[in-house]
Every structure is written in structure tokens, then in C-alpha cells.
Amino acid sequence: MKVTLVVDALGPQGSGVGRYVAELCKRVSLQPDINSVGYYVNGRYFDDLEPIIRGELPGWHRPKWLQKKFTRRQLRKSIVHGPNYFLPNEAETGVITVHDLSIFRHPETHPVQRLRAFERNFADSLVRASHVITDSETVRAEVIDQFGLRNSGVTAVGLGVAEDFQPREHTELRPELASLGLQPGNYALCVSTLEPRKKIAELIRTWAALPASIRNSTPLVLAGAKGWRNEQLHEEIRRGVAAGWLKHLGYVPDAALLSLYAGAALFIYPSTYEGFGLPPLEAMASGVPVLVANRSCLPEICGDAAGYVDPDDIGGFSEAIVQALTDEQWRAEAREKGLQRASAFTWDRCVAATVDIYGSVFR
């Protein structure tokens, strides 16, 4: 099989979707049924991924109509996979991955330009797609219900956890964490884009309501992309930082993120809508106890390895955090169950299942 991957989601500050696309690019060509892999971005087809990653796209010295003809020909000769919701306009058919339906179910939480992109392109991509992949069974059921698709036309393929996420000794972590102003084992962590459905404001308010002894001895650390529609949230972040119990790191490169996860005393993910929820599994793989919201697909993905909270119930949320930081028996069980749970999600398994779908749809 010849495959073309749409790689618009690759970028220097990779989101969960960006990580998914990067892992496909890394592993699809290694599958035994794959003869070659091409890449599509910004209306153009490339045989080599490296210039795309470096942002050094080679010049095109032929007429634009000839460039389009070349791209269409390459796409017709291959299985086209749009791993970020959309198929290229030049592709007659293909496979798309729908990570979640937040833009349809919670449109008020998205920027206007993203809403317009979906209005322009998603329905057409869905009509042309021969098969739809989702990250979880929860979203699979939502997609089938929302768009009236056949059960056999939608398959859930869980994401994976990179092998680099693993428990680490505090002595190994100290130099990296010291550069961030942190000490291993002395902070709680949330890795998330700052957008409304992630419930970061509720997490900050809950932290402010914790007993002073816990709030001051175990600061809350926020890491992740800046997001959107969060002006009030940034004001709450500034107040927490000024009070000394909140540290806002913003986007953290992958190398530092490994240490940040492994050094946390607790990982908290209060998001109320996810397509998969990769950060909690990365924290589990790093040997860290995890609390997540009892919403959407998070119970499906985390199973009995996480503690569950209602992020809108500040009192109950606060009690759960105190227990998760002080109950050593629960913490030990959560670490053990978390490591076992995370080990079931690998990128090799994810990519192999994806390639199986290519073969079953395009025989």
C-alpha cells in the first residue's frame, strides 16, 4: 500500500493531535504492508518529511496548475489519511480521524476562525471519507449518533504513550526541575491547553480553597499551550502566581516535560470533554497518581487507575485533592494501577491498528 499523510498539525509546539500525527509519520512506513509514504501540507505533496519538519519547504519552479496536477495524481495513487479531521480538496476519498466533537457540542469554547474552518470543510471531508477513526469508543458513539454513520464505518483506535514517559529517581530530576524553580515530589501538575472546557479556572479556585498548609507546601504547576477564550483565566493565574502557590510555565518542550511529569506528587486533569485524554496516561506512565474529571471518555481511558472528581464541585474537588496528596495507601495503589494501565496504550499498537484499517477499506 502507498499512503499519503496530511501533516498540517505538525508544529514546534505540538498538541495532542500534533503528537498523534508525528507518531504516524514515524511508524506507518515501518509496517510490513506499507510500500511508501508521502506527505501533504498546504496544498502540496512531498516525498520527504524532513523539510516539512524544519520549515524549509523546497521551492516549486513549475506553473501552479502543474503543481496541482502532480499533487492530485499522487493522491489518486495512494490511501489518503487526514489525521486532523479533514481530507485535502484534491483527494476523492480517504480516511479521516475525528478526535472529538467539542466544536459541535461546545462551540462557545472555540475561536471563531476554527468554527469557520469546520463550517467550510468538515461536512465535505466526512462525505468523501471511506472510513472514520476516533480515539475512543465514547467519541465513536458520538460520531455515529451525530452524523448517522454506519457502525461499520467508524472504528475507535486508542492513542499511545511514548516510551520516554517513565518513573525517574529524584536525583536524576533535580537539575532539570531546578531550572524551572521546582523540587521533585513537592508540586502538583496539570498539563493542558488553556481553554474553557479544560476547567483550569475551577482547578485554580479549588487550589485557593485548600488548607493553607497543603496549598503552600505543594504548589500547583500549570503547563501547556496558551489556548483561547481565557482572558479571565489569565487574571486568576496572575493572582495565584502573586500569592505564591501557583506556577505557570506555559508551553514546555518535550524533553523538559518528561521530568516535569515524573517529578510531580500528583497529576490533575479536570477537563469535562475529551476525545481521549493523553496527559493522564503520560502521568501514569511516569509513576504519578492521577485525578481526572468524571466526564466524557476519561473513565473509559483511565479505568480504575485514576481518582475521579466533579470539577464544578469545589468542596468535593478540594477533598479529593487533599486525600490524593496525603493518603499513602491510595497513592501507592494509584501508582501501580497507573503504570499497568498506561502500558496497554502504545504507539506501535495504535499505528498497526490504523494500517489494518487502511487495508480493510482499500483492498
**DSSP code per residue over 295-358:** STTHHHHHGGGSEEE-TT-HHHHHHHHHHHHH-HHHHHHHHHHHHHHHHT--HHHHHHHHHHHH
Q: Please, which pLDDT band fits residue 62 given cuts at 50, 70 and 90? A: low
**The residue to which cell 530530576 is assigned:** 173
Residues 109, 202: one domain? no
What number is the average pLDDT over the span 297-325? 97
Whole-angstrom distance, CA of residue 72 vs CA of residue 332: 55
Global pTM reads 0.93
Count of CB atoms situated within 10 Å of the CB of 127: 10
What range does the domain containing 30 cover? Answer: 2-160+347-361
Q: Using one digit for the tens of pLDDT, what is the confidence trace for 67-115?
A: 788 899 999 999 999 999 999 999 999 999 999 999 998 887 777 888 8
Residues 7, 147: one domain? yes
In the predicted model, is pLDDT for residue 63 greater than 70? no
Residue 327 lies in a domain: yes
**Gyration radius from the chain CA atoms:** 21
Residues 199, 311: one domain? yes
In the predicted model, is pLDDT for residue 228 greater than 70? no
Residues 267, 231: one domain? yes
Residues 194, 130: one domain? no
How many structural domains comprise the chain? 2
Residues 144, 189: one domain? no
> Which whole-number Å values give the CA distances from 339 to 161, 236, 260, in the listed order?
11, 33, 17
Residues 153, 12: one domain? yes
Residue 165 lies in a domain: no
Residue 185 lies in a domain: yes
Answer for the pair 133, 97: CB distance below 8 angstroms, yes or no. Answer: yes
Q: How many residues does the chain have?
A: 363
Nearest by Cα to 248 from 203, 278, 283: 203
> Which whole-number Å values give the CA distances from 56 to 26, 43, 59, 351, in the listed order?
19, 15, 9, 27
Answer for the pair 87, 103: CB distance below 8 angstroms, yes or no. Answer: no
Containing 97, the helix (H) or strand (E) segment is strand 94-98
Residue 156 lies in a domain: yes
Residue 42 lies in a domain: yes
CATH number, domain containing residue 297: 3.40.50.2000
AA letter at 132: V
Containing 51, the helix (H) or strand (E) segment is helix 50-54
What number is the average pLDDT over the span 217-232? 81
Number of H helices, E strands in the chain: 16, 13
Residues 80, 150: one domain? yes
Residues 93, 41: one domain? yes
Residue 241 lies in a domain: yes
Q: Please, which pLDDT band fits residue 61 given cuts at 50, 70 and 90? A: low
The SS3 of residue 250 is strand
Residues 9, 150: one domain? yes
Answer for the pair 102, 197: CB distance below 8 angstroms, yes or no. Answer: yes
Whole-angstrom distance, CA of residue 38 vs CA of residue 78: 9
Question: What pLDDT sits at residue 60?
Answer: 55
Residues 202, 139: one domain? no
Residues 6, 115: one domain? yes
Backbone angles phi, psi at 349, to 5 degrees: -65, -40
Q: Please, which pLDDT band fits residue 233 given cuts at 50, 70 and 90? A: confident
In the predicted model, is pLDDT for residue 227 greater than 90? no
**The residue to which cell 498538541 is assigned:** 15
Q: Which three cell numbers stand for residue 137?
A: 469508543
In the predicted model, is pLDDT for residue 289 greater than 70? yes
Residue 15 lies in a domain: yes
Residue 212 lies in a domain: yes
In the predicted model, is pLDDT for residue 52 greater than 90? no
> Which whole-number Å values give the CA distances from 334 to 53, 321, 322, in the listed order?
38, 13, 15
Burial of 113 (0-12, 13-18, 19+ CB in 10 A): exposed
Question: What pLDDT sits at residue 12?
Answer: 62
What number is the average pLDDT over the span 170-188? 95
Taken in order 280, 106, 309, 139, the sign of the CA dihedral is: negative
Q: Which three cell numbers stand for residue 90?
A: 484534491
Q: What percent of the chain stands above pLDDT 70?
A: 95
Q: Which three cell numbers stand for residue 238?
A: 496572575
Nearest by Cα to 286 from 191, 181, 179, 159: 191
